[in-house]
Amino acid sequence: MSAPQILLKSFLIYLKLEKSLSPNTRLAYERDVQKLISFWQMKGFTVPVSALTQKNLQSFIHWLAEVGLNARSQARIISGIKSFYRFLLLENIIENDPTELLDLPTLGRKLPVTLELDEIDAMIAQIDRSKAEGERNKAIVETLYSCGLRVSELVDLRISNIYAKDKFIRVVGKGDKERLIPIGSYALKQINLYLKHVRAHVDVKRGFEDYVFLNRRGRKLTRTMVFIIIKDLAQRAGIHKTISPHTFRHSFATHLVEGGADLRAVQEMLGHASIITTEIYSHLDKVYLRSEVLLYHPRSKSRKLKNSPGEADDLHIVD
């Protein structure tokens, strides 16, 4: 094993044991560092990967752009590289962090895709409840929307972590951090129907007894299967947005903020480490409010004014 690969292996062990990151997150970090190692090998640098300078790493960023990666992808990769060098600094392998003053690509703020309530109802209406998986799939949609779960949190949900009397569920999020989330009556009712009438008749395989959502073979439902279920329902409902299980998480947060929920409370329910991440939904709410003003306010350009052309010109409306 080459020196860079040894460092990478140590970094991945650190992410698993010290940072308690999920396998998917560790894989993403591994890919980021592997890209840097590929760049290092391609350039034939005489210094070790651990000794690359800020200038070297800036060249790496330019290379990412040259191979066609957009600014958002570049920023994600650089985030992984920064974590790698912070690890090297922590382990006293390097004395200075060359990523500290890296110039990052400028990112626009991308607003998440959300669903309206009638679109969610339209997707639910496509579920064939005459089939055994129908009750399960309805419970999945209701739970995603009611609790704003990540898909990994949904598939890992345990029966023992549903507190029906108190209307809370306990989930394990990123970094193995636990949190309690209120669960609505619609979702609770549907989970109960699924557990009682469908799951009770499944031949549950050993080790999966406590998982809520199972496949027909009695094993835990996979993330991929949940994606397929949601994509299929969206297509059947005639929804042309780019929909995934995460869309329900965005919709959950957006609808709460639109309804006046405190941003800190939404942060807690989503399990965001920083309020900055949650603030995107506040911004989304402002966009919604602005669109409403433009549509309905009598002084708005977007409204079909009943004034004559001359009168409209005199208003001097500014968007």
pLDDT tens digit sequence for 184-208: 889 999 999 999 999 999 999 999 9
Residues 55 and 130 in one domain: no
Residue 231: the pLDDT is 95
Residues 135 and 192 in one domain: yes
In a domain, 99, yes or no: no
Residues 286 and 141 in one domain: yes
Residues 86 and 121 in one domain: no
Residues 273 and 219 in one domain: yes
195: left (phi over 0), alpha (psi -120 to 50) or beta: alpha
Residue 316: the pLDDT is 30
Residues 142 and 256 in one domain: yes
Active site residues per annotation: 150, 174, 246, 249, 272, 281
- Domain interval for residue 77: 3-90
In a domain, 266, yes or no: yes
How much of the chain is helix, strand and coil, in % rounded to 5? 60, 5, 35
Number of domains in the chain: 2
The pTM is what? 0.59
Q: Is the pLDDT of residue 62 over 90?
A: no
In a domain, 135, yes or no: yes
Residues 168 and 22 in one domain: no
Instruction: Kindly give the interhelix angle for 275-296 and 245-258, rounded to the nearest 10 degrees.
Output: 70
Residues 180 and 287 in one domain: yes
pLDDT confidence of 286, banded at 50, 70, 90? low
pLDDT confidence of 309, banded at 50, 70, 90? very low
Q: What is each CA distance from 38 to 45, 49, 92, 150, 166, in whole angstroms?
A: 11, 10, 24, 32, 53
Burial 169-190 (b: 16+ CB within 10 A, else e): bebbbbeeeeeebebeebbbeb
In the chain, the amino acid numbered 5 is Q
